[in-house]
Structure 1
Amino acid sequence: MRPRHAALAILVTAIWGSNFVAIRIGLDDIPPLLFLSIRFVVVCVPAVFFVKRPAIAWRDLALIGIFVSLGQFSLLYIAMHLGMPPGLSSLVLQAQVLFTVVLAALWLRERPSRRQLAGVGVGAAGLAVIAIGRGLTSPLLPLAVVVLGAVSWSIGNVLTRRAGRVSGLQLTVWSGLVVPVPALALSWLVEGPEAMAAGLSAFGWEAAASTAYTAYLASLVGYGIWNTLLSRFPVASVTPFAMLVPVFGMVAAAIAFRERPTLLELLGGVVLLAGVATAVLRRRTSGADAPASGVTAPGRLSEPAAQAGSPSR
């Protein structure tokens, strides 16, 4: 990979990491489920008229959308609305890689390597340290909701793995079609019509900028560049860059909101990322680095599993 391609990969991770700050800004005035519905309307329209539908069954497309987009993002948005810091959210969501390893073993009978199992164990220890550090200073509910979002994303990863090779951009746009109506219905039931009306009336330039960033930059531009890199270079050369997402996320949150993790949260984050790195990184072997896009070879993490920050999309 040439320096300019590495720079593009780093640019995407910076966009995805900063996406958590953009989400947080949008949630200042808009209820989370309503904001999620608006975001995916912008993601899908007009892109759905220009991006080809992925060659998978409608049922699989809907299920992937339910878990990767609706489940993951609704839980993330709710957790951040409840007070989960954006930088820490970008870090904890990395647990989806570890959950994907476990679910792929149970569901798809993909036997994890010793390295992956060790990564799961180290990552789980990191999550426990974060929970302890978080519990000493703040309620644990927002943290638990983000972890549930990571679980939802991991289920979607396994569904994507089962569906076969697909373009991430196509999947983002077409699976996103299942989000707006259910999110709007949940907003009506959970947040209430009065909160929805107040949110829409308060939809100013900050909410519009946040929506544009999350929909266009993070989802469409980010995935367009990322999948181009995946089509030209080995998956093992591209996906490790995704571990920079929480680094950029925490730096962006520190700049925007003066977010400072506690010592235990920081220690747990380092351990969690070490577990993710152990699960994702692997020694190169002959024939293992053939260029691929979308889903990797059987027994390996799918591309979405190796990415951080779905909210990045």
Structure 2
Amino acid sequence: MAIKDILIIIAVTAIWGLNFSVTKFGMEYVPPLFLNALRFTVVALMAFVIPRPSVDWRIFAGIGVFIGVIKFSLVFVGIKLGLGAGLSSVVIQGQVFFTIILAFLLYQERVQIYQVIGLLIGFAGLFVMSFDDGGDFNLLGFALTVLGSLMWGIANMFFRRTGSTEAVAVIVWASVVALIPLWLLSAFFDGPDVIMQSFQNFNLQVIFVVLFASIFSTVFAYSMWGKMLSKYPAADVTPFALLIPVSGLLGGVFIVNETISVIAMIGIIIIMVGLAVSILGGRVRRYLGS
């Protein structure tokens, strides 16, 4: 993998990690589904100046539905229910394992033994975290976030099929697809009165959160992520998500003053070990073989 691409992926993971805390900060003023709808509305507006990508519409529709509508709705509600932003940034990394499994099942991408070991270790970490009843933890929020990670894994299969298509155009038009379902979800669960109150609560903080989530975390980060997935095997790209919990946990502690329980920390360490095995296992194997 080229050094330039590695640096791009590192920047993407840093943005995604911080986005959990930024999002939780925004939920102090507006509800999660409303915030998610605003996020993708801003991105969808770019469709007025960015032509529709030359790919099957079902590809960017799949990305819009599984990433925009389902994944983020599940994760945002999970955070609102009480799962800490830092912990959310760890739990969502189940997408690494789901992506590798789906790439193997659907595209016969080769999976090495060290990657399987990494998968098993990572799932063990998620299992340990499910027993946490302290700190910034909520079992239902945890379950919703795990399900959200599966949705992300499915969306990655659509990203893989975009090929050399302009990545920004794909994510922008995927947001167009997600727009109406997101506002319908907000109207149904939040209610018209809450939506009107949310518009009245608009301030500079909310504007900052929406712009960070839409421009940096969606347009830049997801378009670059999709570009890397179309360029390299999923098993090479997705393990870099190991870096997301680093900025995610730091953001949770320093931005929104979260705490992390002992059990959650143990689970986090196990997950990161599993991800490290997935990333570094091949190099260790080659070193020992030499």
Fold similarity call, TM over 0.5: yes
Match of 2:21 in 1: 21
Amino acid corresponding to residue 61 of structure 1 in structure 2:
F
Match of 2:44 in 1: 44
* TM-score, with length taken from structure 1: 0.78
Match of 2:287 in 1: none
Amino acid corresponding to residue 82 of structure 2 in structure 1:
G
- Gap regions ≥5 residues in structure 1: 285-313
Residue 120 of structure 1: CA displacement? 1.4
Cα pair 1:63 1:159 within 8 Å, conserved: yes
Cα pair 1:240 1:281 within 8 Å, conserved: no
Percentage of pairs with the same residue:
34
* TM-score, with length taken from structure 2: 0.84
Cα pair 2:60 2:171 within 8 Å, conserved: no
Match of 2:202 in 1: 203
For residues 233-292 of structure 1, what are the alpha-carbon distances to aligned partners after superposition, in whole Å with 9 as ceiling and x for unaligned? 9999876654222101110110012212111111111211222233345637xxxxxxxx
Match of 1:294 in 2: none
Match of 1:272 in 2: 271
Cα pair 1:169 1:227 within 8 Å, conserved: no
SS at match of 1:257: coil
Amino acid corresponding to residue 133 of structure 1 in structure 2:
D
Match of 1:31 in 2: 31
Larger displacement relative to structure 2 (243-252 or 223-232): 223-232
Cα pair 1:172 1:219 within 8 Å, conserved: yes
What does 1:94-113 align with in structure 2 at a 5 Å threshold?
94-113=93-112
Cα pair 1:116 1:279 within 8 Å, conserved: yes
In structure 1, distance between residues paired with 2:103 and 2:9: 27
Which of the pair is proportionally richer in helix? Answer: 2
Amino acid corresponding to residue 249 of structure 1 in structure 2:
G
In structure 1, distance between residues paired with 2:69 and 2:127: 26
Larger displacement relative to structure 2 (110-119 or 234-243): 234-243
Classify 1:235/1:173 alpha carbon distance in 2 versus 1 (closer, same or farther; 3 Å). same
For residues 11-37 of structure 1, what are the alpha-carbon distances to aligned partners after superposition, in whole Å with 9 as ceiling and x for unaligned? 443322211111111111212111111
In structure 2, distance between residues paired with 1:41 and 1:157: 22
Match of 2:186 in 1: 187
SS at match of 2:28: coil
Match of 1:82 in 2: 81
Residue 107 of structure 1: CA displacement? 3.7
